[in-house]
Structure formats: C-alpha cells, structure tokens
Chains A and B, each alone.
Chain A
C-alpha cells in the first residue's frame, strides 16, 4: 500500500513536471533535405538556423523545435504535418520548401486547426467557413510580375514578348504579364513556351523576333531560364530582358554569361541588403539577418529562400508575444490565440516584406516586398 502511494506520488510529480514543461512553446519545422527540392530546401534550413540563433525564447518561454525532412514529396509533407500535430503536439508549424508540399501542409493545418506559416507559395482556396489556419510568407507570382512590369512601363517599354516554361510556373508568369497589360503595362506580343529538357529554343526565339517587342519577359527559372535569352541575343535581338526572382541563381549567371548581362528582375530586398538605402525597411533587419546567417552557417546568404524561413520566425515571435498573454502553450486555445495574433499584428517588418495578414488571403505582402535588381558584370545591382 505504501509502495502504491509512493508510485502515485511519483506519478503526480511527473504530471506536475509535465505541466511545467508545457509552458515551453513547440514549433514544428519541415523542409526538404533530400530529393528534388533539396537544393532549395537546404537554403530554408540555413535560414531557419539563422532565425533560431537570432532569438530562441519569447518572454522567458523556451521554444522547443521539432525538425522533419519531407524528402521533396508532398505526401511526405502531409504525413510530417500530421505527425507534428498528433505526436509532437506542436503549437505552430513552419514549412516547407516546395509549393505542392506547402499546399499539402496547409490543408492539414486547416483540417486539424493548427497554425501554419508557409514558406513556399500556397495554391489552395480559402475555406468557405471560418478562416484559413495559416499564412504564406513569399511574394505572389502576380506581384513579382507586376513590379517588373511597372518598371518596364517606367522605362518606356510599350510591347513585350513572352517566353516561359511549358508548366504551371510559365502560366503564372504569363497570367501576371497579361494582368499587367490590362492595368496599362506593356502589351504582351507573344506566348512562347519551352520545356526544361529542350535542347533548343531557336524556333520560339524567331517567333518573338518577328513581333519585334521592346522587351522580353523570361518566364523560366534557374539555369534553364538563360536558354531563350542566349538564343535571342545570338539571333541579334537588342531589346531588354525582364524576369522574376526565379532567375536569381548562380547557374543562370554562369550559363547566360554576356547574353544575360543587363537583365532586370524583381527580387526580395534581402538579395541586395547591403545596397539598400538606410531608409529602406529591410536595411536594418536584413543586415542583422546576414550577420547571424554567416555566424550560424559559416557561409554568406545569397538566396531569397533563407529569408522566407527567417521572416516566418519573425511573424511567429511577434504573434507568440500576444498569444502568451491569452493562453498556455500546448493547448488548442494557444493555437487559436497564435492564429488570431498573426491576423491582428500590423506591419510586421521582415527581411523580405512588411507583413499584414488577413483571414481573406494566405498572402500578406504588398509591392514594398519587391525591388528591381539588374545584372551588372555578373552581380545583381539594386535599381532604385
């Protein structure tokens, strides 16, 4: 009997310890450390490392982090999200490095009512009832094209050819260009497409030349984004090239060489932090980010992705401050309080953007989240 009592006492002690433990906030982080998206996933991982070294407690509450790899597979991302919620009992999730993966996680977040800060675009409808259980950090493709289209208009470009990937990314950029045209931007004269595996785009380039546009939109990405530009220059095209942040890639510059010199793209300000004027919102936090990133990872941050992971952390920290005053971590009330706080917080400054989230959309960024950069002598230069 005595023994039983002591066991009970020990159990009670454990329960007490557990309830004290629950005071720490649990965050689940998912990225792709293997598989197709791993080259991008690794950037997110590094950005997250920097974020955690930046600040790892909220008002004295420790933050416990559970990290999972989704092997670049949306169904593994789904499982990871379920595991985080059901086994690890996380208060909030951050993830993952591909749009299909982030979209899959968002549907789990909506289903299980756990907040998610997506660090890739989310292609999901807003639920008909209630509010969505998450937000997405990145700039929308529409915005990426709009900013560059506005710049083209400012430079007096009246007509623009379009060449892009024969996939959903190409569609997004083309639709963005058409939307910009409807809003008074340059007239889109062609809709040429090519595949990532194509060996040549001569035919498409000839078609664009035939319409003789003032500039050309590049709706490709990374290394293969250089292919049409190389071809157009080879055929003697003299006009300017314009693109989206997906061209901000070392291999794009290496492969494109002289042909892509002078190409202008819209980009998150974190890409050119050191060149920004002091008055720019991203200057201060961006400088801090670059310093911490180097300390945490031993290399310089030269991509936009790590910045998304960092901003997700900032949005979370800000919301957690408010939420802690309303509920205890580890409870559903705390998750709700976090989500409410993310919507309530106004003008949260990150390295990419000033975030204002609403329950009406997953996205909360505006045109301030993109600057225009130009490739000069193989390096990206800020164009005020």
Chain B
C-alpha cells in the first residue's frame, strides 16, 4: 500500500462514512428522545431509493400504497383513542394530521402519475412521500407502548423491521434499482480521483450536522427535544409533551433517512431489503457515540466507513467481520470508561 492508495481508500471511506453519519445521527436523535433504537431506519432509506427510481422510470411509486395503509391505520387508532376519551372536538385536528397531511404528497403523486418530473422535483417529491412514514409508525406502534422498557422497545423495533421489509416486498417488488447520477462532476486532487457524488454526500452530511446543531441550540422546539431526551418527567413538568417531542424526532429521523436514501441511490443498487445492513453499520457508529453524543457519533460513523474501506483492501471476504467485531472492544471501552447513570429504575 502506498500513499496514493491510502488516499483513495480514505476518500472512499469518508464518502461511505458520511452516509453512515446521516443515519447514525438519526439513530441517536430518535433514541435520545424516545429511547427507541429505530431498527427500520435503513429500510426507510432503502424505500426512498426505490421511490426515487420509480419516479425516474415514470412508474407509480409503491410508497403511495405504503403511506396510505399506514395513514389509515394511524387515523383509525387515533379516532378510537379520541372516542374513548370522549373529546370529540379533537377529531378534525386528528383527521388533518394523521390522514390529510400524510396523504397530501401521495395524492399529488396520483394526480401527476406518469408525468415526467425534473431531477430536483423528483427528489423533493420523494422526500415528501417518505417523510410521513416514521411519524406514522411511531403513532401506530410506539405511542401505545411509549413507557415500556428499552429492551421491549428494541424487540418491537426489530419486529417492525421485518414487517416493514415484508411490506417493502409487496409495494416495491423484488427488483433492485439504481438511479441516475446526481452529478457527473469529478476532480483529481494530487492524483486521487474524487467523484462529485462523494463530495455531495460529504457536504450533505456536514450540512445536516450543522442544521441539527443550530436546531438544538437556538430553537425552542430543539430545546424541548433536548429536555425530553434528558428527563422525560422533568420535561413534562415544564409543559413539554413527550409524545409531541417523539413525533418531531421521528419526523427529523424520517428526513435524514430520506436524504441518505437519495444520496445512496445513485452509488449503489438498492433492493427492498438493502437498508438493514447499511443501517446496522451506521448503528455501530451510533454505538461509538454511546447513542447520546452527536459529535462522537459523527466521528464514529466516519471511522466505520474508513475502517470498512481499509478492511476491504486488506482482506475483502472478512470486511463485515472486521467492522462488526469492532463493536466488542468499543462496548467494552464504553462500559469501562463511562459510568452510565441508572435509568430511572425502569429496568
């Protein structure tokens, strides 16, 4: 291995790592606010890629069916809860947030079905279609068990991954897709080719890190999320609704999954079940950050990407083994160096 090869590997690793950064930040965000390890994160990213490809091929995206099913179930559950509480005045609001709003992009999609859309419009439409998925799942699956233990939430989350990937097969079919490149730009830096795609990915990750930082530091909404993450009961006493904070966290998570999906789609063939393994590697990054620290998570995810790249060069059949074996020393190190506070005596 010479310096040039090392440089190429590092570049490649950083580009892969940046995708993990986006996903891992989503993991941490959702976990810190809701205590849910949101395993289906990768699935949502894969669905994004499949939606984008469907729009590109002027096919009707399966996402519309998926969102419709989720929205109808969520509305039914919400209405049932409202009827039981007897506060009928909340019905219009519930209908708007759980039925009309999520179905709006889907309805637009039905109207423009088959029409040629420009690349930026396709991306916007895709993100709009994907956005409601995570909040709706939150309403259907996690809201009723919001106070359960972390372990139970994790198990439900894993089950949800299998359910979603099964639904992915129904709505998107078994074929893999790859979308057109976002850009053909490429530049040589000291003999190392850097593709525009990698630059885009890294820039997107950087922008998202910055936006998250600004959101948490300078907005009331962000501070409310942070407060919920630190202490649910305390936040509640201060007038913050944890359920609402959860929805916001899931919405942000959905957005990050969508963005990473859009960025992966042109560099890799995505299948309905491709998201899981990518999400799993991002999860390793999130673990390095202890599922709490955003900067450490970003650094950890980049590290996973670069490690993966070098491991693939050294011995490609053992690449995954190397990446996932990393979890063991990291977990050991974290459990020795950080004394985790007892979690409100819940477990």
Contact = CB atoms under 8 A, between A and B. Distances in A.
B221 interface: no
B15 A200 contact: yes
A71 to B, nearest CB: 11
Contacts, number: 86
A234 to B, nearest CB: 7
A192 B278 contact: no
Interface string B121-155: 00000000000000000000000000000000000
A258 interface: no
B189 to A, nearest CB: 15
Range class of the A interface residue count: 20 to 34
A195 B320 contact: yes
A193 B317 contact: yes
A203 B315 CA distance: 10
B118 to A, nearest CB: 21
B302 interface: no
Given A194-B316, A195-B277, A227-B269, A203 B175 contact: no
Contact of A234 (B16, B193, B277, B310): B193
A202 B309 contact: yes
A210 B1 CA distance: 9
B69 interface: no
Nearest to B269: A223
Contacts of A235: 193
Interface string B274-318: 100110000000000000000000000000000001111100110
Q: Which of A198, A227, A234 has the most CB of B within 10 A?
A: A198
A216 to B, nearest CB: 14
B9 A222 contact: no
A200 B316 contact: no
Contacts of A197: 268, 271, 274, 277-278
A39 B175 CA distance: 7
A244 interface: no
Contacts of A326: none
B234 interface: no
B175 A201 contact: no
A199 B174 contact: no
A35 B313 CA distance: 35
A207 interface: yes
Contacts of B79: none
Contacts of B278: 197, 199
A213 to B, nearest CB: 16
A251 B264 contact: no
A201 B311 CA distance: 11
B176 A251 contact: yes
Interface in B9-31: 9, 12, 15-16, 19
Contacts of A35: 169, 174
Contact of A251 (B174, B175, B312): B175
Contacts of B313: 203-204, 206-207
A347 to B, nearest CB: 37
A35 B268 CA distance: 22
Interface string B160-197: 00000000010001111010000000000000010100
B129 to A, nearest CB: 23
Nearest to B268: A199
Contacts of B19: 199
A236 to B, nearest CB: 9
Contacts of A31: none
A372 B316 CA distance: 29
Interface in A112-161: none
Contacts of A196: 269, 271, 274
Interface in B325-340: none
A306 B12 CA distance: 40
Nearest to A166: B317
A196 B12 CA distance: 18
A302 B313 CA distance: 37
A38 interface: yes
Interface string A218-233: 0000111001000000
A199 B316 contact: no
B115 interface: no
B317 to A, nearest CB: 4
A191 interface: yes
B8 interface: yes
B212 interface: no
A100 to B, nearest CB: 16
A255 interface: yes
Contacts of B12: 200, 202-203
Nearest to B4: A206
A255 B265 CA distance: 12
A210 B317 CA distance: 18
Interface in A161-209: 166, 191-204, 206-207
Contacts of B310: 203
A204 B312 contact: yes
B203 interface: no
B199 interface: no
Interface string B207-234: 0000000000000000000000000000
B269 A192 contact: no
A191 B278 CA distance: 24
Contacts of A294: none
Contact of A224 (B269, B311, B317): B269
A223 B316 contact: no
Contacts of A346: none
A194 B308 CA distance: 11
A38 B169 CA distance: 11
B5 interface: yes
Nearest to B277: A197
A305 B320 CA distance: 32
B278 to A, nearest CB: 6
B320 A39 contact: no
A72 to B, nearest CB: 8
Interface in B79-131: none
Contact of A198 (B174, B178, B268, B317): B268
Contacts of B320: 166, 195
B317 A206 contact: no
Given A194-B316, A234-B193, A199 B16 contact: yes
A320 B21 CA distance: 62
A203 B174 contact: no
What 7 A-B pairs come out closest when comparing CB atoms? A203-B312, A203-B313, A202-B12, A199-B268, A193-B317, A193-B316, A223-B269
6 contacts: A39-B174, A166-B316, A192-B316, A199-B267, A206-B5, A223-B178
Given A38-B174, A223-B176, 4 more contacts: A194-B312, A199-B19, A202-B9, A223-B269
